[in-house]
């Protein structure tokens, strides 16, 4: 029943001055949020245009979507100082600025990959581009979020948009199956992460990432004593950490939360697979870096002494890259092979977590540069797969027999991308792995040596080198099919001019990142956490 005095009581409790201060802060946050607002405007515009335009024209909304990524990227990438936005829900800093540009500019190749793909023929594409930009917005907010609730909302915006994109071709039973698996697995992972956040909130009384500094282990709160958990607070903190990182690991597709990737990557439309393998994965790594930077390393010192965190990270990195590479060896479907390859590269990227606070090349620097190289070479490989799929209707390895003779330009570019994925100079992949290896070796010779940990770091480098050699087998197997295996079919494979331009541009970017590796790495210093 309605209480007559409720309105009067509410009016009495209302603090106009406090409300005015909150409103002023929100309004003051809008200029730093301008690129996101511009992206939202383009999303709404694309949806409206798709309703008004005929079917044959909706495909060309790709150019509007590309403009909707380019303009916000140019307007919101550079950040001179840190700003807390919307009552501490988001932050505008150099880290968020780097990833904002990465996601926005990285989405442009995905848009044009979708434009040239024959999988979407006969379908309205406006809503597809709008949903894709919504996923990009979720990734941007995830890199900027500093509040548990905002992290969860951004993650769900990215995830729900991705679910729709995976199952966008509704009549494709493989896509529908992949979307269903993705929804189920993703929902469970998100729920586990949310529960971990609730535990941290209960421990610290704060939903801010900065509130994690209030979780300390000292004196009476020893985490380990003769391998026995002593306090409920310590146990809860450990459980919360595991649950949160399970959610993050799912988005990064690292072991043991990798199981969704092969089926989803294979069943999804190929441009969507490219998006998931690069941009969605990068969003997970951005969240991991943001979260790790907020952990109270000094306050956790007793726990870090008792729990082998570095050793665990090293083992997880080695296991992830080894599993991915060994599984890729047996694949004859290129999308599935690239899915396991993506898992392996996630293992390489995890090497950055081991050297996050290194004095030389830091983990965030090396990871930022590796993500740039991975974007160029992985998108390039998927671009070739899409162009061949358009003409031959298959992504099986046997369809690539004799491709070097039938499509010399895109075959040569494919070899460049394969060499880069291996890490062969003079490609970007070599520079990316070089800085990761250099950072780990430098830390082994300096900080780790004093702690007696150098053997672990050298083991990581050795395992990564062995895995690089393993990966060469299945990457070069593709090159072998293209150039050394004859095919009964001699007809030339023609591809669209836009497809050729896109592939050649990505191949050129692969070489550019190698040539300008030092300069680009220097620019990634902006994303180093202090």
Residues of the chain with pLDDT under 70: 1-22, 28, 76-81, 214-234, 296-307, 357-361, 447-452, 525-530
Q: Is this model's pTM higher than 0.85 or not?
A: yes
* Cα gap 487→489, rounded to integer Å: 5
Cα first-last separation, the chain: 55
3-state helix, strand, coil in the chain (%, to 5): 75, 5, 20
Q: What count of other Cβ atoms lies within 10 Å of the Cβ of residue 353? A: 20
CB 364 within 8 A of CB 352: yes
CB 145 within 8 A of CB 290: yes
Q: What is the dihedral of CA 41, 42, 47, 52, to 10 degrees?
A: 100
Q: Is the dihedral of CA 305, 309, 312, 317 positive or negative?
A: negative
For 226: left if phi > 0, alpha if psi spans -120 to 50, otherwise beta; the answer is left
91 forms bridges with which residues in the sheet? 84
* Cα gap 283→276, rounded to integer Å: 10
Query: What is the chain's alpha carbon radius of gyration, rounded to the nearest angstrom?
Result: 24
Which residues lie closer than 8 Å to 446 by C-beta, 6 or more apart? 358, 359, 360
CB 120 within 8 A of CB 59: yes
* Res 359: pLDDT: 57
Q: How many residues does the chain have?
A: 530
Instruction: Write out pLDDT tens, residues 4-29.
Output: 555 555 555 556 666 666 677 777 67
CB burial class (10 A; 0-12, 13-18, 19+) of residue 12?
exposed
The kind and range of the H/E element at 85 are strand 83-85
Which residues lie closer than 8 Å to 481 by C-beta, 6 or more apart? 397, 398, 400, 401, 403
DSSP assignment, residue 279? I
CB 96 within 8 A of CB 147: no
* Cα gap 438→366, rounded to integer Å: 9
92 forms bridges with which residues in the sheet? 83
């Amino acid at each position: 029943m309605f209480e007559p005095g409720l309105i009067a009581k509410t009016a009495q409790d209302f603090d106009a001055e406090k409300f005015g201060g909150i409103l002023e802060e929100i309004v003051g946050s809008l200029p730093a949020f301008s690129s996101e607002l511009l992206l939202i405007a383009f999303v709404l515009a694309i949806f409206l245009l798709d309703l008004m335009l005929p079917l044959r024209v909706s495909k060309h909304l790709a150019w509007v979507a590309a403009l909707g990524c380019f303009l916000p990227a140019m307007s919101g990438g550079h950040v001179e100082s840190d700003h807390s936005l919307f009552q501490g829900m988001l932050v505008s800093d150099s880290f968020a600025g780097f990833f904002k540009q990465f996601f926005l500019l990285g989405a442009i190749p995905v848009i044009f990959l979708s434009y040239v793909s024959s999988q979407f023929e006969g379908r309205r594409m406006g809503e597809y581009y709008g949903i894709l930009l919504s996923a990009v917005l979720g990734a941007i907010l995830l890199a900027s979020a500093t509040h548990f609730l905002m992290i969860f909302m951004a993650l769900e915006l990215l995830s729900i948009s991705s679910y729709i994109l995976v199952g966008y071709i509704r009549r494709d039973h493989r896509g529908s199956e992949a979307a269903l698996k993705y929804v189920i697995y993703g929902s469970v992972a998100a729920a586990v992460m949310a529960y971990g956040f609730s535990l941290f909130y209960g421990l610290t009384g704060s939903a801010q990432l900065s509130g994690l500094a209030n979780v300390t282990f000292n004196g009476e709160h020893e985490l380990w004593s003769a391998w026995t958990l002593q306090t409920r607070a310590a146990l809860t903190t450990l459980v919360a950490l595991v649950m949160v990182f399970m959610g993050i690991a799912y988005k990064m597709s690292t072991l043991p939360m990798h199981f969704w990737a092969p089926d989803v990557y294979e069943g999804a439309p190929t441009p969507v697979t490219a998006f998931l393998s690069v941009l969605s994965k990068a969003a997970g790594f951005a969240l991991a870096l943001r979260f790790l930077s907020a952990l109270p390393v000094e306050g956790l010192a007793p726990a870090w002494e008792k729990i082998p965190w570095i050793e665990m990270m090293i083992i997880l990195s080695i296991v992830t890259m080894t599993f991915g590479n060994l599984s890729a060896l047996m694949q004859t479907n290129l999308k599935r092979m690239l899915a396991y390859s993506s898992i392996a590269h996630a293992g390489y990227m995890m090497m950055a977590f081991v050297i996050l606070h290194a004095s030389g090349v830091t983990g965030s620097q090396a990871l930022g540069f590796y993500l740039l190289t991975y974007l160029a070479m992985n998108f390039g490989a998927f671009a070739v797969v899409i162009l061949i799929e358009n003409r031959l209707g298959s992504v099986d390895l046997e369809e690539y027999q004799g491709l070097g003779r039938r499509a010399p330009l895109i075959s040569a570019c494919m070899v460049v991308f394969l060499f880069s994925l291996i890490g062969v100079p003079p490609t970007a992949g070599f520079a990316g792995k070089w800085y990761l290896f250099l950072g780990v070796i430098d830390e082994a010779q300096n900080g780790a040596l004093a702690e007696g940990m150098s053997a672990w770091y050298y083991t990581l480098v050795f395992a990564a080198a062995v895995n690089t050699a393993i990966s060469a087998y299945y990457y070069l197997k593709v090159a072998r099919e293209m150039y050394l295996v004859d095919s009964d079919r001699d007809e030339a494979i023609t591809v669209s001019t836009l497809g050729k331009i896109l592939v050649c541009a990505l191949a050129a970017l692969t070489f550019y990142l190698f040539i300008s590796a030092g300069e680009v790495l220097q620019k990634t210093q902006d994303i180093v956490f202090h």
